[in-house]
Amino acid sequence: MTQVERAFEGIRRLISSGSLAPGDRLPSEQELCAEFDVSRSSLREAQKMLGFAGVLISRTGAGTYVSALTPQTVMSGLSVTIPLLPLEEYLGLFDIRQLLEGFAAAQAAAGFDDAERARLLEIAEDLAARSWVDDGSTLDDAFHELLATGARNEAIAVVLRSMRQRGRHYRVFERHDAAELKELSDREHRRIAEAVRDRDPVRAQLAATAHIRATREWLEGLRPAPEP
């Protein structure tokens, strides 16, 4: 184990054991270096890694602190790493996205209030009436963002949001031959929204899973290059 790894694991153990709680300030560099038997440069590199992961927060002139350790902070690194993935690696995440989005849709069907159900269907209908370049991308994101809230789980919402962020780099609906894909996508959004409206968790889960599976198949078949 390198010094950086030793420092990383040492800080991680302090947090996981409860010795350091969310909001606590880390001991001084001198104390930590002595405890983990590492150099200051190795300790700082480990702290950078944990900062990138959303575990630590550095405050200029005030030291380094344990973050709030909420799903949003701990998973913040996903919003940086997932948008960097090449297509093949990104496609590998779709098995996870199918499970999570299907679960969220089922939970939405079971737990959404009347206003949320109506809003999801409204977005689906509005999206179907517009082109992709005419607010289509924004409405698609709004649809999936609202659907993800059905899980009532911020960790799931963060993961799905990060995956969609990378998906927006592959603009398959802006192709000259994308009209059929857009129509299919619109029908799938409506099936999901109607199942949620009808309070049918099984149908909602199947519809959401099918939609994500189709998205993966489009990307595998079209092999689009990502655009900034």
pLDDT digit string (tens) for 116-162?
A: 999 999 999 999 998 877 788 899 999 999 999 999 998 888 889 98
Of 63, 72, 74, 60, nearest in space to 15 by CA: 74
Supply the pLDDT for residue 117.
Answer: 97
3-state secondary structure of 16: helix
Q: What is the C-alpha R_g of the chain?
A: 22
Token pair in block for residue 25: 């300030």
pLDDT digit string (tens) for 11-46?
A: 999 999 999 999 999 999 999 999 999 999 999 999
Q: Is the pLDDT of residue 217 over 80?
A: yes
Which domains are present in the chain? 3-69 (1.10.10.10), 78-222 (1.20.120.530)
pLDDT digit string (tens) for 64-97?
A: 999 988 877 777 777 778 888 899 999 999 999 9
Q: In angstroms, how far is CA 182 from the centroid of its own chain?
A: 23
DSSP annotation of 120 reads H
Supply the pLDDT for residue 31.
Answer: 95
d(CA 189, CA 110): 18
More confidently predicted of 191 and 49: 191
d(CA 83, CA 103): 23
Q: In angstroms, how far is CA 42 from the centroid of its own chain?
A: 30
pLDDT digit string (tens) for 194-206?
A: 999 999 999 999 9
Cβ count within 10 A of residue 48: 14
pLDDT digit string (tens) for 175-200?
A: 777 788 889 999 999 999 999 999 99
Supply the pLDDT for residue 228.
Answer: 65
